[in-house]
Amino acid sequence: MRILVTGATGYIGGRLAPRLLDRGHHVRVMTRDPVRLRDIPWAVRAEVVRADARDPESLRSALDGIEVAYYLIHSIDSGGDFSAVDRRAANAFAAAARAADVRRIVYLGGLGPATTGGTSAHLSSRQEVGRILLGSGVPTIVLRAAVVIGSGSASFEMLRYLTERLPVMLTPRWVRTRIQPIAVRDVLHYLIGALDVPDDVEGTFDVGGPDILTYAEMMQRFAAIEGLRRRIIVPVPILSPELSSLWVGLVTPVPGGIARPLIRSLRNEVVVHDHQVARWIPDPAEGLLPFDAAVALALARVRARSVKTRWSTAVWPGSGGASDDGDGAGATHPPNEPLPTDPQWAGGSLYVDERSMAVAAPPACLWHVIEGIGGDNGWYSWPLAWSARGWLDTALGGVGLRRGRRDPQRVHVGEALDFWRVEEIEPGHLLRLRAEMKLPGEAWLELRSMVDSEGTTTYSQRASFLPRGLPGQLYWWSVSPFHAAVFGGMLRNIVRKAEDEWAARAVATA
């Protein structure tokens, strides 16, 4: 079939698209910034198109000739009216799909109560999108799932870090809400199975795993699987979703802006009350994966460094809340400094800290260190200062340093790396990161491995900051006295690390 997958840079879409390709389908993937798929191995087999779900003209091109369209677009709560963004995108997509004579729309929404009374804004918005697509005139299958258990999902990482880091927890009432989690493997099974549903069948179908648990029970079972002591969980009535999202943001890699809608959704019981989906999409032959098995599989993926997609890659803070299953605005590239012939005011104030040093090691060895920066490897200078900046960012509602890395050595464009986003990679030569911490301006960090005409390896490092208004100017001048320690130390330690690795290799092969 000719299939369109929206949200292909997101958590679910990034796993669905390669599975469809492996089944021989022609897959077109839609993204606002195709660069984000440049380094994804499966993307070379797909047709990549640039389109915005809120732009009817680009949607027409994306849907042209498509038989089945997967709608995996939803917004995150970044402070704006995400339900209005969801509504606008769904209406535009519904109209474009009808005009393009699409045979089927498949949408993955959130499991929630049958009525919207008391439902969280997040779940209400997901349900509204389902109703819009069902009313599009295109036969639509709406699949509704609760907590998705899989390596790299926001729900899984929230559960994982809360359980691992808090042996004693004062928790809000929502830890006693009943939930029917589902393994990501089974979500993908139902999404792919929707391709075979007869054209005259449409409607909403709830999907869930075989276990119904409270969040507290999920944490206790997670602890048992990881070999941790039983957690002491004390529910208290005073913790509102807002307060809950603050401590979730402090303890887990999931920032408060994303945790907040997830937590608000947990106050609603999310249980499958009928299994009508099995009438049209049979359950997996091996059965639905139980919660314990799903957790064990996800943890094995994490330990083996084989996490295929991750929530932090999907979500782009500062994108105004729009996402293709988290696909926000396209990358913003660092401003060029004014040319010498330009007026002095051209380009605004761009502050730069630039340093370089010769390296007694080959460029490949230096690049290995550059590409492995961040996460468990750290930032090679003044760890306390980096940690303090991460804590401050978390306190301000930012992403902090705990997002880490998906892979300890390899990164690709669009991935999150602590509180940076990988904006550009020239393998062996350049890694450019864009800051996603809370800042009164825009910031970039460029790390380069270079070789001169005489064969000397040089490490070059450039930090750039484009201030926004007076707060941006004050910010730069307040932190610039620390640059010698932070960036100077980074320069020296990266060079030393590359030279030490090269020396160790030489000894090992001697």
Each residue's pLDDT tens digit, 449-463: 999 888 899 999 999
Per DSSP, 253 falls in state S
Each residue's pLDDT tens digit, 211-249: 999 989 999 999 999 999 999 988 777 666 666 666 676
**Containing H/E element for 259?**
helix 256-265
Each residue's pLDDT tens digit, 117-168: 556 777 788 888 999 999 999 999 999 999 999 988 888 888 888 888 888 8
- d(C-alpha 368, C-alpha 449), whole Å: 10
Q: Within a domain: residue 73?
A: yes
**Containing H/E element for 107?**
strand 104-110
* Residues 310 and 360 reside in one and the same domain: no
Residue 82 pLDDT > 90: no
Q: Within a domain: residue 380?
A: yes
Q: Within a domain: residue 345?
A: no
Count the Cβ atoms, other than its own, within 10 Å of residue 510.
5
Find the CATH number of the domain harbouring 437: 3.30.530.20
The answer to which of 2-11, 43-52, 252-261 has the lowest mean pLDDT is 252-261
* Residues 155 and 287 reside in one and the same domain: yes
* Residues 287 and 361 reside in one and the same domain: no
Q: Within a domain: residue 240?
A: yes
* Residues 96 and 168 reside in one and the same domain: yes
What is the structure's pLDDT at 27? 97
* Residues 310 and 355 reside in one and the same domain: no
CB 102, CB 66: distance < 8 Å: yes
What is the structure's pLDDT at 478? 92
* Residues 80 and 17 reside in one and the same domain: yes
What is the structure's pLDDT at 71? 96
478 CB-contact burial (10 Å; exposed 0-12 / middle 13-18 / buried 19+): exposed
Q: Within a domain: residue 341?
A: no
Give the residue from 97, 91, 95, 25 showing the smallest Cα distance to 64: 97
What is the structure's pLDDT at 211? 96
* Residues 272 and 363 reside in one and the same domain: no
Dihedral-angle region of residue 452 (phi above 0 means left; psi in -120 to 50 means alpha; beta otherwise): beta
* Residues 93 and 17 reside in one and the same domain: yes
Q: Report how many domains make up the chain.
A: 2
Higher pLDDT residue, 394 or 130? Answer: 130
CA 218 to chain centre: 23
Q: Within a domain: residue 328?
A: no
* Residues 371 and 274 reside in one and the same domain: no
* Residues 405 and 466 reside in one and the same domain: yes
Each residue's pLDDT tens digit, 240-290: 666 666 667 677 777 666 777 677 777 778 899 889 999 999 999 999 999
* Residues 222 and 115 reside in one and the same domain: yes
Helices then strands (H, E): number in the chain? 16, 19
What is the structure's pLDDT at 403? 82
What 3 state SS string does 342-399 have? CCCCCCCCCEEEEEEEEECCCHHHHHHHHHCCCHHHCCCCCHHHHHHHHHHHHHCCCC
Q: Within a domain: residue 212?
A: yes
Give the residue from 247, 257, 171, 259 showing the smallest Cα distance to 214: 171
Find the CATH number of the domain harbouring 121: 3.40.50.720
Supply the range of the domain harboring residue 382: 351-509
